[in-house]
Amino acid sequence: MFPKRIIIFANGDLSDLEKARSLLRDDDFIIAADGGTRHVIALGRIPNFIIGDLDSVTFDLRLLTDKGTQIIQFSHDKNETDLELAIQHALTLNPEQVIILAALGGRLDQTLGNIALISDLRLSTFDCRLDDGIEEVFFCHDKCEINGKPGDIVSLIPWQGEVIGVVTTDLKWPLRDETLYPNKTRGISNEMLGETAAVQIRSGSLLVVHRRTSL
Segment 105-150, tens digit of pLDDT: 778 998 999 999 999 888 878 899 999 999 999 999 999 999 999 9
- Statement to judge: residues 42 and 126 lie in one domain: yes
Global confidence as pTM: 0.91
Q: Both 191 and 155 in a single domain?
A: yes
Among 79, 104, 133, residue at a domain's last position:
133
Which are the contacts of 18, defined by CB distance < 8 A and separation ≥ 6? Answer: 133
Q: How many domains does the chain have?
A: 2
Alpha-carbon gap, residue 128 to 98, rounded angstroms: 5
Tell me the CATH number at 200.
2.60.120.320
Q: Identify any residues that bridge with 20 across adjacent strands, giving them in sequence order.
A: none
At 215 the pLDDT is: 53
Alpha helices in the chain (DSSP H): 17-21, 37-42, 62-65, 82-91, 108-117
- Answer whether 98's CB lies under 8 Å from 8's CB: yes
Local confidence pLDDT in tens for the 215 residues of the chain: 678 999 999 998 888 999 999 999 999 999 999 989 999 999 999 999 999 988 777 777 888 888 899 999 888 878 889 999 999 999 999 999 999 999 997 789 989 999 999 998 888 788 999 999 999 999 999 999 999 999 999 999 999 999 999 999 999 999 999 999 999 999 999 999 999 999 999 999 999 999 998 65
87's torsion region: left (phi>0), alpha (psi -120 to 50) or beta? Answer: alpha
Instruction: Please state the separation of Cα 3 from the chain's center in Å.
Output: 17
- Residue 1: its pLDDT value, please? 67
- The residue segments making up the domain with residue 181 are 143-211
Are 90 and 159 part of one and the same domain?
no
The per-residue pLDDT for 54 is 85
Specify whether 129 is located in the same domain as 183: no
